[in-house]
Amino acid sequence: GNSVTQMEGPVTLSEEAFLTINCTYTATGYPSLFWYVQYPGEGLQLLLKATKADDKGSNKGFEATYRKETTSFHLEKGSVQVSDSAVYFCALSSINAGNNRKLIWGLGTSLAVNP
Amino acid sequence: DGGITQSPKYLFRKEGQNVTLSCEQNLNHDAMYWYRQDPGQGLRLIYYSQIVNDFQKGDIAEGYSVSREKKESFPLTVTSAQKNPTAFYLCASRMGGTGFSETQYFGPGTRLLVL
């Protein structure tokens, strides 16, 4: 079945450091891929997405490229800020035999950025 | 403003009591989802609904029930059969039909605590 694997956290960085959070997936067909962010005590917000191979999603300085050859969608940011401290979730779209659409979620990666 | 509202923000349940969590959206989305999030863990799907008057069990439906009588509303009842209900509950919605999208949009969540 479809699945998403994220690197385990927590990840701790200093301000202005380079960030990479790895995400790999297993899927049939051509799913859409997503990164969501969750700030403490809040719901999830869409950070970026990509719908086909080689697409690059970007938002707020974050980027991720849909790599079908390596089944990956790694999240990167060149210079993190304290305000980027949050939990980041990778997800892929899935459709079952009943034509019901869901998202398959990774377990999340906690990021803490120190000043 | 368009969005998803969840109420209450905090909810307390006594032993043997059923409680209902509210989820309302004014985005005109067709599909709605309920997730459970436990500390340090990812999202687990409880129930989802692709269209009014129809819903399907997710991965952890036991001890929960839902209804979808109106497009904008998808309440979740946590029954007394759910023996470990303490968690953060998240509601999400997604556009279907001609404006179809895989992207889910989330409410702010309800934290349920057992007394």
pLDDT at residue A5, rounded to an integer: 96
Residue at B2: amino acid letter: G
User: What confidence category does residue B69 fall into, taking pLDDT thresholds of 50, 70 and 90?
Assistant: very high
Does residue A107 sit at the B interface (CB-CB below 8 Å)? yes
Instruction: Report residues of chain A scoring pLDDT below 70.
Output: none
Q: Give the distance from residue B49's alpha carbon to the nearest chain A alpha carbon, in angstroms.
A: 9
Q: What CA–CA distance (Å, rounded) separates B97 from B30? A: 7
Q: Residue B70, exposed/middle/buried by CB under 10 A (0-12, 13-18, 19+)?
A: exposed
Q: Provide the CB-side half-sphere exposure for B4 (13 A, CA).
A: 30
Q: Are A1 and A99 in contact (CB under 8 A)?
A: no
Among A68-72, A105-109, B50-54, B97-101, name the one with the lowest average pLDDT: B97-101
Closest partner residue to B31 (CB to CB) among A51, A93, A101 is A101
User: What confidence category does residue B106 fall into, taking pLDDT thresholds of 50, 70 and 90?
Assistant: very high
